[in-house]
Chains A and B, each alone.
Chain A
Amino acid sequence: MVTPALQICDLHCVRGGRRVFDGLSLDIPEGRLLRVSGANGAGKTSLLRMICGLLLPARGEVLWRGQRIAALREDFHRQLIYLGHAAALKDDLSASENLVAAARLSGLDPGAAEVEAALASTGLRGHAHVPVRNLSQGQRRRVALARLVLGKASALWVLDEPFNALDAAASAWLLQLVSGQVRRGAIVVLTSHDADLSWPDTLPQLELAL
């Protein structure tokens, strides 16, 4: 039997003395989209942070290819892209400078042309050298999402509300990007409040309601 790439084993989450969720177990094979849904405060972000290793569970563990992520640490990080609530951008840097810095921190070394192309694919052609402080919220989000274009080699994407602040065109682009990544064999875990998103029926996906 093949070990699922990502295993969530009996996870318990306690925040501020309040039990958020408990006994959560899930096996996710490669090439799957996991959509996490739930009301505000249900623990979606906490779960995503636990999957990345940013938050320790009260009990239970997360395994990546059969090994605890805490033990793998940097080896696990090399295969992971995480986009949180915050865009993780520096206001004083331009869109391309932010993207290069983020990519290099992720262990990538994109050339200028790759960076330009990634920004262009998010609809930010001509904005590469604009300081991020001068961009709108939606454009800032697009700069953050451009990391995904550069990180297609990553086997795990963890995206917290990636569709926030995006217009219809950008949402459609992201949906296509995520679908393509899943079809390439990666695992994508994401949360979204947008019930109108039309994921392709043929896309292998799981749904988790917290």
Chain B
Amino acid sequence: MNTLALPVSEPHGAGALHGMRCIVARDLRIALRRPADSAAVLFFFVIVVSLFPLGIGPEPELLRRMAPGIVWVAALLASMLSLARLFADDLSDGTLEQQLLSPTPLSLLVLGKAFAHWLCSGLPLALVSPLLALQFGLPSGAMGVLVVTLLLGTPVLSLVGAIGAALTVGVRGAGVLLSLLVLPLVIPVLIFGAGAVDASLVGAGVAGHFSLLGAMLVLALAGAPPAAAAALRIALE
């Protein structure tokens, strides 16, 4: 006996990216089959932002001054809504174990999941933000800056959020705990995101803000996936 006659297992040509693409495609397909989840995030964002003009009243200058902060805080809170389920669903149905045992490095799979999360939550928020900015009377230049800051900042929310989601996976009351963990970490994104739009409103340069947001994105891309992967390994033990 003991004559190995197993078929030869060739590693797939595309290597580790193959598994990452697979997880992105899978999560996007699930999101398309459950559109209510992504729509809930978008509606929450729209409603929260729209409540402020109603509450503050017709004071165009005050609304214009507050708009960047309001839109950014609403974007932060809306992103939190779907983060709690980033790994929780995979844990409950057993697919998280399969990800931990994949030949694709877990940090790449986490990166794929964060990317899919951003496509379903952060990107729609950024795309709808010009419409909301109209309520606050933002000039078109500031609207453009707002969109760019959201495009740079919301991926950071998904990536840093992935660390929080991994740390709280399987924990009761994970949603609240996740917000307590993640929101303080993303304060710099809020400051520089809203700050860029403020700077644009007063005619100052925004390149510095964009650079800092870009640097935060690069840092998050490099640091968040391995941190979240380590947290998942601990969580599943």
Contact = CB atoms under 8 A, between A and B. Distances in A.
Interface of A: 29-31, 52-56, 74-75, 77-80, 82, 84-93, 97, 101-102, 104-109, 152-155, 184-186, 204
A86 B94 contact: yes
Interface-centre pick from A90, A93, A97, A105 (highest chain B CB count, 10 A): A105
Given A77-B103, A93-B30, A54 B7 contact: no
B94 A84 contact: yes
B204 interface: no
Contacts, number: 115
Given A54-B101, A107-B11, 11 more contacts: A53-B101, A75-B103, A77-B102, A77-B103, A82-B97, A88-B94, A88-B95, A89-B94, A90-B26, A92-B33, A153-B6
B202 interface: no
Contacts of A184: 4-6
B100 interface: yes
Interface residues of B, number: 37
Nearest to B5: A184
Contacts of A107: 9, 11-12, 18-19, 102-104
Contacts of B2: 29-31, 185
A87 B97 CA distance: 11
B113 to A, nearest CB: 12
Contacts of A78: 9, 11, 103
B18 A102 contact: no
B125 to A, nearest CB: 23
A31 B1 contact: yes
B94 A105 contact: no
B237 A186 contact: no
Interface-centre pick from A31, A87, A106 (highest chain B CB count, 10 A): A106
Interface in B129-167: none
A105 B22 contact: yes
Given A109-B18, A185-B2, A89 B11 contact: no
Contacts of A74: 102-105
B99 interface: yes
Contacts of B105: 74
B102 A105 contact: yes
B24 to A, nearest CB: 11
Contacts of B104: 74, 105, 107
Contacts of A106: 98, 102-103
A80 B30 contact: no
A109 B12 contact: yes
A55 B237 CA distance: 5
B23 interface: yes
Contacts of A154: 6, 9
A31 B5 CA distance: 10
28 contacts: A30-B4, A31-B3, A54-B100, A54-B236, A74-B102, A78-B11, A84-B97, A86-B92, A86-B93, A86-B94, A89-B93, A89-B94, A90-B26, A90-B30, A90-B93, A97-B26, A101-B25, A102-B95, A105-B109, A106-B102, A107-B18, A107-B102, A108-B12, A153-B9, A155-B6, A184-B5, A185-B4, A185-B5
A38 B4 CA distance: 30
A152 B6 contact: yes
A53 B104 CA distance: 15
A54 B30 contact: no
Interface-centre pick from A79, A93, A101 (highest chain B CB count, 10 A): A101
